[in-house]
Structure 1
Amino acid sequence: MLITDPELAIAAARAGAAVVRANYGASLTRVDKSAGDFATAADLEAERVILDLLRSARPDDAVTGEESGSTGPSGAARRWLVDPLCGTRNYATRGLLVAVNVALQTGSGSTVAASADPFTDEVFWTGGTGAYVRRDGVDEPLTPSAGSGLVDVNLDPPFPNAPRFRAVRLLADPGFIGRFHPRVVSTTLAVAWVAAGRRAAYVTDGQLRDSVHFASGIALCVAAGCTVTDLDGQPVHSGRGGLVVAADRQTHAALLTLIGGQLPTVR
């Protein structure tokens, strides 16, 4: 029986998460990348397991993995985006805040996605209609909520909108501090948390088109009914870049006002 795309995304994310969990705390070989970035043996093994599963189930699809790059037909209408371990620095220092992200890109966006937490054994997923978290084989709908007031701000480079916008200045803004409670966890698991009601919002700079890191979280938040735009309040990937994801329109509007205080008027 042919596995559906959402179930394949879930299975792939869970397979990668199992590798990440099994290697936690071990002395892992590091592979240097660029600008001081690195991967661990767990990143590489998790990606291999995920890609093997995807290629076996969908041999005609293309795949882009964070560690291995793009493979498969260059003109494929379907492409899987794989981030085998989002939060590598957290993981390498025995932190538990990491995610395994798998998304299916068709056309200009992704509607099928899964983001797995290896240490809670939760998988946040969507097939395009509704978003859910799977625990112990049971799916529960994700319900965004701004009630916590927690806003995760990504401080990892690159910062293409600097000096016009710097996320670190948002953290020091009296208006931000007066309304929200900042968090910096350095993993895109926090994007899924907005869809789940565990964060009120998430803010990052960056050009995120075709991003293996962010495709899953964006798809989850869109499907859950969050407000999702770029730093200007425009559709994601359409202009200045960056990402503002909020549980509701009021929270989103407040964040855009604060961000707009840093950005010059575009003429």
Structure 2
Amino acid sequence: MSITDRELAIAAAEAGAAVVRSHYGSSLARLPKEGDDFATVADLEAEKAILAILRDARPGDVVLGEESGRTGDGDSDRMWLVDPLCGTLNYAVHTMLTSVNVALRVGDRVTVAASADPFNEEVFWTGGDGAHVRQGGDDRPLVPSAGSRLVDLNLDPPFPNRPDFLAAALLADDGFITRFRPRVVSTTLAVAWVAAGRRAAYVTDGHLRDSVHFAAGIALCEAAGCVVTGLDGQPLHTGRGGLVAAADAETHAALLRLIAGRRVSR
């Protein structure tokens, strides 16, 4: 019997997570990439495991992997976006804050997504209708909540909207400090946590179209009912870009006001 796209995404993310766990704690050489970025053997082998599962089940699909680039039939409107280890720097210094992200985009829409936490052995997933977390074979619905007041900020470069917007500037904003509590997880696992109610919101700069890092987390937040826009409240992947994913409309509106208040061009 053929596997559904949803179960395929979950299986691929779980396979990548198993590889990540297997290498954790070992001495890993850093393989240089562009700028200060790097990969490890865990990144490469996790992506290889994910691609093997996807290629076996969907040989005609395009795959965009962080480490291997774009492969597959260029005429297909089905593209898998694969981030085999988000949080490589955390992982390389033996910090268990990572995720394995797999998403399928059909045309312009992400239809299924899975984001695996290798160390809690959780997989956050969506088939487009609602979002869930799977652990120990059980699936539970994701319910966003702003109750924690925790807002995760992505402080990693690049900063395409600097100096007009810099997420780090929110850390010195009295309005932000009064209402929220900042966190910096440094992996897109935190985006899935917004969908799960473990974070009130997530904010990042950047142009995220075709992003293997963010596609799964964004899809999870949208499916869970979060409010998800760009930095100015505009539709994603338009205007100056960025991402504000919030558990509810009130939190989203408060963050947009704070972001607008930090604009140096005002």
TM-score (structure 1 length as normaliser): 0.98
Q: 1:172: Cα distance to partner?
A: 1.0
Asked if the contact 2:62/2:76 (under 8 Å) is kept, the reply is yes
Paired position in structure 2 for 1:227: 227
**Pairs within 5 Å for 1:57-206:** 57-206=57-206
Q: Decide which moves more: 232-241 or 94-103.
A: 232-241
Cα offsets for 1:103-126 (capped at 9, x unmatched): 001112312000000000000000
Q: 1:100: Cα distance to partner?
A: 0.1
Answer yes or no: is 1:245 the counterpart of 2:256.
no
Asked if the contact 2:208/2:237 (under 8 Å) is kept, the reply is yes
Asked if the contact 2:30/2:40 (under 8 Å) is kept, the reply is yes
Query: Which SS does the other structure have where 1:191 is aligned?
Result: helix
Q: 1:185: Cα distance to partner?
A: 0.8
Paired position in structure 1 for 2:14: 14
AA aligned to 1:85 is L
Q: What CA distance in whole angstroms lies between the structure 1 residues aligned with 2:39 and 2:264?
A: 37
Q: What CA distance in whole angstroms lies between the structure 2 residues aligned with 1:179 and 1:111?
A: 34
Query: Which SS does the other structure have where 2:194 is aligned?
Result: helix
Q: What CA distance in whole angstroms lies between the structure 2 residues aligned with 1:17 and 1:239?
A: 35
AA aligned to 1:80 is W
Paired position in structure 2 for 1:254: 254
Q: What CA distance in whole angstroms lies between the structure 1 residues aligned with 2:264 and 2:230?
A: 15
Paired position in structure 2 for 1:216: 216
Unaligned runs of 5+ in 2: none
Answer yes or no: is 1:28 the counterpart of 2:21.
no
Paired position in structure 2 for 1:44: 44
| Count of aligned positions | 266
Query: Which SS does the other structure have where 2:127 is aligned?
Result: strand
Q: What CA distance in whole angstroms lies between the structure 2 residues aligned with 1:224 and 1:63?
A: 25
Q: What CA distance in whole angstroms lies between the structure 2 residues aligned with 1:241 and 1:159?
A: 11
TM-score (structure 2 length as normaliser): 0.98
Q: 1:64: Cα distance to partner?
A: 0.4
Q: 1:148: Cα distance to partner?
A: 0.2
Q: What CA distance in whole angstroms lies between the structure 1 residues aligned with 2:71 and 2:135?
A: 32
Cα offsets for 1:75-99 (capped at 9, x unmatched): 2110000000000000000000000
AA aligned to 1:225 is G
AA aligned to 2:171 is L
Q: What CA distance in whole angstroms lies between the structure 2 residues aligned with 1:185 and 1:240?
A: 24
- Aligned-pair identity (%): 71
Q: 1:46: Cα distance to partner?
A: 0.1
AA aligned to 1:180 is F
Query: Which SS does the other structure have where 1:128 is aligned?
Result: coil
Unaligned runs of 5+ in 1: none
Q: What CA distance in whole angstroms lies between the structure 1 residues aligned with 2:243 and 2:219?
A: 13
Q: 1:238: Cα distance to partner?
A: 1.7
Cα offsets for 1:137-185 (capped at 9, x unmatched): 1100000000000000000111111010011101110000000000001
Q: What CA distance in whole angstroms lies between the structure 1 residues aligned with 2:71 and 2:171?
A: 39
| Runs ≥4 residues deviating over 6 A | none
Q: What CA distance in whole angstroms lies between the structure 2 residues aligned with 1:23 and 1:37?
A: 19
